A and B are shown apart, each in its own frame.
Chain A
Amino acid sequence: MQFLADFLPAGVAMHAPALIVVIPLITAALAALVPNGRVAWIVALVTAAAVALLSLNLLGQVINEGVISYHMGGWAPPLGIEYRVDMLNIALLLLVGIVGLLCVFYALPSVADEIAQNKQALFYSAFLVCFAGLLGVTITGDAFNVFVFLEISSISTYVLIAMGAGKDRRALTASYNYLILGTIGATFFVIGVGFLYMATGTLNMADMAAILEVNGHNRVTQAAFAFIVVGLGLKAAMFPLHVWLPNAYAFAPNFVTAFLASTATKVAFYALIRFLFSVFHPDVSFVEMSFVWLFAVVGTVAMVVASLQAVFQTDARRLLAYSSVAQVGYMMLGLGMGTASGLQAGLLHLMNHALMKGALFMALGAFALNFGVRRVKDLAGMSKTMPASATAFTIAGLSLVGVPLTVGFTSKWYLVTAALERGWWWAVAALMLSSLLALAYVARLLSAIWMDSPPSHHGELAQRRLAPWMVLLPMSLLALANIYFFFHADPLVWLARSAAEAVMGGN
């Protein structure tokens, strides 16, 4: 692991925590200025590559030296803003960086198809702002900074989703509804941070935790807790607060859906974990109660109800969006166990889910790119017309169900083990039920793809069309990762375990 920490020049490595956020912000302005969509794409690609490299370098640094504390502008915390990288958020940084890079690679043909020529550069600019926002939420150690970055990423997300209006005008209403709910969520979060600031007099998360430990909790911090959980729950599409998600994912441009599905809700979920474990302590009675009576319950209900809703969708992307809500339920359940192994399973599922949904949405994007299809029944015969994409879709789909030989099985295995450790038989039953429902909705997609014959036009079957290689490459990489990490589960499991230990082991 030494080479990871050393491959960048020392000066760059020292400022890596700041650069990882600053570079996308600066290049976002750059991308907005260039006249040509293709040039803007190159800017975005270079940026995403730089971010992925920086996140790898930070991983090496964290392994070597433990927690990195970067003082923004040289002002020492708790007064200055601290960027803090530990084993928990390095996992998220890696996820956002690497999946982001793959998604950008995929973007060029997809965006060229869906976005008007003169808006492409601005589109990439909005994407980079969103990217910077997500990375910022992940890396910052300052509570108010989390709010600012959350809103930076959310506002650009509203724009990105609305860009789907070229294909379907419902993207506009989906984006508007997301804007209303997202802003309410962010405002709830900022109320919660305000209460915490009232109670502690600081905004630095580590400092907050230390002061709360000394001063103890009172009604102000309890109110803060409630506001923060609801606010971040909205952003993370926690079950009853998920209503914005299905339409937003269904009508956004394909590239945006692939990117958001594998990063945005994950980052909000990370922020939730950060507040639950690193600011509030899991031993505090009301936090402990929220695990069992809120997160575990909500997660279980989401797993079953959202999967059930997914079964009856006609739009393929909407179906997968409901499935995403169900998968967030799995993570919430893992979190709700309140044990290190539960959190580990939740985090493992978080990473694995990014691999599956990234590949699935990319494949749907490829189908849409070549044939303009989006409904489940229109996927008929894709195995004959687009065999490579259909295979990638199938692998990721089976992984979503949790079939052995795919990562979906690994994370469900860990979830079941953790639930049994806790003695939660009902959770295991819910997991099984939800997996069966997942089988039902994935089977609907797969039977259309493999069993039905391709549509014919005047007696002529649809011709075979290969997706552009820029689409195929990231999609196959993600699909293969779904298999690879089943056989070599160690890296991801290790990442999830050290992340869980980093927050459970106290600060």
Chain B
Amino acid sequence: MLEILAERFNYIPIIILMMIGLYVVIATGNLVKRLVGLSIFQTSVFLLYITIGKVFGGAPPILENYKADDGYGHGGEGAGHGAAEAGHAADAAAGYAADHAAPAADAGAHAASDAAHQATEILYSNPLPHVLILTAIVVGVATLAVGLALVVRIRESYGTIEDDALNAADYSLESGSAE
């Protein structure tokens, strides 16, 4: 049991945050607090995406010596660095990337352009979830902004942001005899 949890330790804070967020949305009667809960809930999902992008031993997904043959002075150094990175990644991944890293290490000694080509073989973290979440964060911010704007307008016309009081006000409107 403990082992199962330890293997999935990254999900534990996410689940806790998710439940806190949902609970706040359901339990509170205050419209602003409800939006806070909603944001926590959304953020937990952002974290879920971010953690699945992690590859153990993966390098940051940046092509460091991509422009090595552009005539930069640092071309050679960049290639060497890239090769070192590749070697490091290979160690950490416990042999998984060894096949790819070996040619990359050779390339460090060869021409920089070769290294740039080989560098694509390095084990990288998955950058896609980060990009997706960048979009989702924008969506979340927009939702929060619209929600808060609505709360401001509700406060202006009802004079309260408590759910009970709002329901009472609406009920009196519905049951009132005035049109």
Query: Hey, which bits of chain A sit against chain B, CB under 8 A?
Result: 144, 147-148, 151, 155, 158-159, 162, 165, 169-170, 172-173, 175-176, 179-180, 183-184, 186-187, 190-191, 194, 197-198, 203
Q: Chain B residues with Cβ under 8 A from A175's Cβ? A: 150
List residues 97-135 of chain B with CB under 8 A from any CB of chain A: 128-129, 132, 135
Q: Would you call A198 and B157 a contact (CB within 8 A)?
A: no
Given A151-B139, A180-B34, A184-B38, do A198 and B52 touch, yes or no (CB 8 Å)? yes
Task: Establish whether residues B45 and A155, one from each chain, have CB atoms under 8 Å apart when the complex forms.
Answer: no
Chain B residues lying within 8 Å of A169, measured Cβ to Cβ, are 157-158
A180 B25 Cβ-Cβ under 8 A: yes
On whether the beta carbons of A151 and B143 are closer than 8 Å, the reply is yes
Task: Assess A194 versus B45: contact at CB under 8 Å? Given A170-B170, A170-B173, A179-B143.
Answer: yes
Query: How far is the CB of B166 from the nearest CB of chain A, in Å?
Result: 6
Chain B residues positioned under 8 Å from A194 (CB to CB): 45, 48-49, 52
CB–CB A173/B170 < 8 A: yes
B31 / chain A contacts, CB cutoff of 8 Å: 176
**Which of chain A's residues has its CB closest to B143's CB?**
A183
Within 8 Å by CB of A148, from B35, B135, B147, B158, lies: B135
Category for how many chain B residues contact A:
20 to 34
- Asked whether any CB of chain A lies closer than 8 Å to the CB of B27, the reply is no
Tell me whether chain A's interface is mostly helix, strand or loop, or mixed.
helix
Of all chain A residues, the one with the shortest Cβ separation from B135 is: A148
Do B42 and A183 have beta carbons less than 8 Å apart? Answer: yes
- Bound state CA distance, A147 and B137, in angstroms? 12
Cross-chain contact B136 with A173 (CB below 8 angstroms): no
Binding site for A on B (CB under 8 A): 22, 25, 31, 34-35, 38, 41-42, 45, 48-49, 52, 128-129, 132, 135-136, 139, 142-143, 146-147, 150-151, 153-154, 157-158, 166, 170, 173
Report the nearest B residue to A170, measured CB to CB: B170
Contact present for B158 and A179 (CB under 8 Å)? no
Contact of B157 among A155, A172, A190 (CB under 8 A): A172
Per CB-CB distance, the 10 closest pairs between chain A and chain B, nearest first, are A169-B157, A151-B139, A176-B150, A172-B154, A179-B147, A183-B143, A172-B153, A155-B142, A158-B146, A198-B52
Additional 12 contacts, C-beta under 8 A, given A162-B153, A165-B153, A165-B157:
A144-B135, A147-B139, A151-B142, A155-B139, A155-B143, A173-B158, A176-B151, A179-B143, A179-B150, A180-B34, A183-B42, A186-B139
Candidates A148, A173, A183; contact of B154 at CB < 8 Å: A173
> With A184-B25, A187-B41, A191-B45 as given contacts, are A162 and B143 in contact (CB-CB < 8 Å)?
no
**Chain B residue at smallest Cβ distance from A79:** B128
Assembly CA distance A170 to B174 (angstroms) = 10
Residue of B nearest to A148 (CB): B135
Q: Name B166's contact: one of A147, A158, A173, A179 (CB within 8 Å).
A: A173
Show 14 A/B contacts (Cβ-Cβ < 8 Å), sorted by A: A148-B139, A155-B142, A169-B157, A169-B158, A172-B150, A176-B150, A179-B147, A180-B25, A180-B35, A183-B143, A184-B38, A184-B41, A187-B41, A194-B52
CB distance from A46 to the nearest CB of B (A): 26
- CB pair A190–B41 under 8 Å, yes or no, is no
Give the residue name and chain of the A residue nearest to B155 (CB).
A172
- Residue of B with least CB distance to A179: B147
**Chain A residue nearest in CB terms to B136:** A190
